[in-house]
């Protein structure tokens, strides 16, 4: 079911998105002993893979639904993606952000025309409020992960990977709410049934991985993480939990120091700017290099929206 829905999403959004490169990294391959391919979603519009899901969701709505009001909640990348999708389709949107959100990501959202409302201390509180306001006003709430059209839109990354190489042993995906790994894992397992799907999360904020370990969606007490793109809770009953149960083969937790090293590695070796969530997937590769030796590994470089102050601190 996922494959046909992702294929439909790919046809729907193709004219609006960039087909991003899928490049072999000779340096990282040599360092790890694996054959490593990087899916450069940091080159996607808005600087993140999130635009795929947002534009797919917005294109699946009719004119009346779009004009009824578009609401989202985000630490940054999803908000920017919804804002750009709304701008392309000529409708306004309101994005709820938590206090202490990344200035770089707030600026990104504002640049694409989002009306920003600060609410709550984490993304989960903003999600609840945005959904409530949308329900009360007859508007549309665009979830960052708990929506089939978002999942299928993110899955178009895998549809491209499938056309860009002739097979992978493993794919490493950074995980927050699970929208990307649900679409990517589901699609790739439908075309390459033996592929291993590895979920990578920061130790400080690993709600989906801890929920999978528990066998049910749980709440955690999050600690701030440089991987702010994977921060935020998972809604009760989220479709991504079942998808992750079905598609995730392994999970790995990364310390803040390991994630920072992953970011530095991409800057130093690849001359590529990435944000914390992308550093998380690189950190997972480095941590698992013995296990992944001689395997053909794909890594999704999911975004580049890192603030200057965070970058200066790491450097």
Same domain as 299, residue 225:
yes
Task: Note the pLDDT of residue 114.
Answer: 87
Residues 155, 135 within the same domain:
no
Picking from 59, 46, 57, the residue whose alpha carbon sits closest to that of residue 20 is 46
* 174 and 253 part of one domain: yes
What are 14's two structure tokens? 């193709």
Q: What ranges make up the beta strands (E) of 120-219? A: 140-141, 170-174, 196-202
Among 87, 121, 145, residue at a domain's last position: 145
Q: What are residue 48's DSSP bridge partners? A: 303
Let me know whether 243 and 208 are in one domain.
Answer: yes
Query: What ranges make up the beta strands (E) of the chain?
Result: 22-24, 35-40, 70-73, 93-97, 115-118, 140-141, 170-174, 196-202, 250-254, 296-301
Domain check: are 18 and 136 in the same one? Answer: no
Examine the domain organization and report whether 37 and 62 are in the same domain.
no
Give the CATH number, domain containing residue 58: 3.40.50.1100
Q: Are residues 82 and 220 in the same domain?
A: no
Same domain, 88 and 229: no
Number of domains the chain contains: 2
Q: How many whole angstroms separate alpha carbon 209 and alpha carbon 206?
A: 5
Residues 95 and 210 in one domain: no
Least confident of 54-58, 59-63, 195-199, 219-223: 219-223
The tokens for 21 are 């490169």
Give me the mean pLDDT over the 45-61 stretch.
Answer: 97
> Given this model, what pLDDT does residue 74 score?
86
- pTM to 2 decimals? 0.94
28 and 81 together in one domain: no
Q: Tell me the range of 225-239, 274-288, 301-315 where mean pLDDT is highest.
A: 274-288
pLDDT, tens digit, for every residue of 137-153?
999 999 999 999 999 99
Same domain, 98 and 72: yes
d(CA 16, CA 27) in angstroms, rounded, equals 32
Its domain, for residue 267, covers 2-48+149-314
Domain-terminating residue out of 119, 145, 171: 145
User: Domain boundary residue among 107, 127, 145?
Assistant: 145
Taking 90 as the threshold, does the pLDDT of residue 236 lie above it?
no
- Are 103 and 194 in a shared domain? no
Lowest mean pLDDT among 209-218, 225-234, 243-252, 268-277: 225-234
| Higher per-residue pLDDT: 226 or 4 | 4
């Amino acid at each position: 079911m996922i494959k046909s829905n992702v294929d439909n999403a790919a046809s729907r959004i193709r004219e609006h998105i960039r087909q991003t490169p899928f490049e072999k990294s000779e340096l990282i391959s040599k360092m790890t002993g694996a054959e490593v391919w990087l899916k450069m979603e940091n080159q996607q519009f808005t600087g993140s893979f999130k635009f795929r899901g947002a534009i797919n969701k917005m294109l699946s709505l009719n004119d009346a639904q779009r004009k009824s009001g578009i609401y989202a909640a985000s630490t940054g990348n999803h908000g920017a993606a919804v804002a750009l999708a709304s701008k392309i389709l000529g409708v306004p949107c309101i994005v709820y952000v938590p206090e202490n959100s990344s200035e770089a990501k707030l600026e990104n959202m504002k640049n694409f025309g989002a009306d920003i409302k600060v609410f709550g201390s984490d993304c989960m509180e903003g999600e609840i409020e945005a959904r409530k306001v949308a329900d009360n006003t007859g508007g549309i709430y665009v979830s960052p992960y708990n929506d089939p059209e978002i999942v299928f839109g993110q899955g178009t990354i895998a549809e491209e990977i499938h056309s860009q190489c002739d097979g992978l042993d493993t794919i490493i995906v950074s995980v927050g709410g699970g929208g990307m790994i649900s679409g990517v894992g589901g699609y790739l397992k439908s075309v390459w049934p033996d592929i291993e799907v590895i979920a990578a999360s920061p130790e400080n904020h690993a709600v989906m991985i801890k929920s999978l370990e528990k066998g049910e969606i749980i709440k955690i007490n999050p600690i701030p993480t440089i991987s702010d793109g994977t921060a935020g809770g998972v809604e009760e009953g989220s479709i991504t939990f079942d998808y992750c149960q079905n598609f995730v083969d392994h999970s790995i937790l990364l310390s803040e120091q390991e994630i920072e090293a992953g970011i530095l590695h991409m800057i130093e070796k690849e001359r590529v700017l990435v944000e914390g969530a992308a550093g998380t997937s690189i950190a997972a590769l480095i941590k698992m290099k013995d296990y992944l030796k001689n395997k053909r590994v794909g890594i999704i470089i999911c975004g580049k929206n890192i603030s200057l102050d965070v970058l200066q601190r790491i450097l």
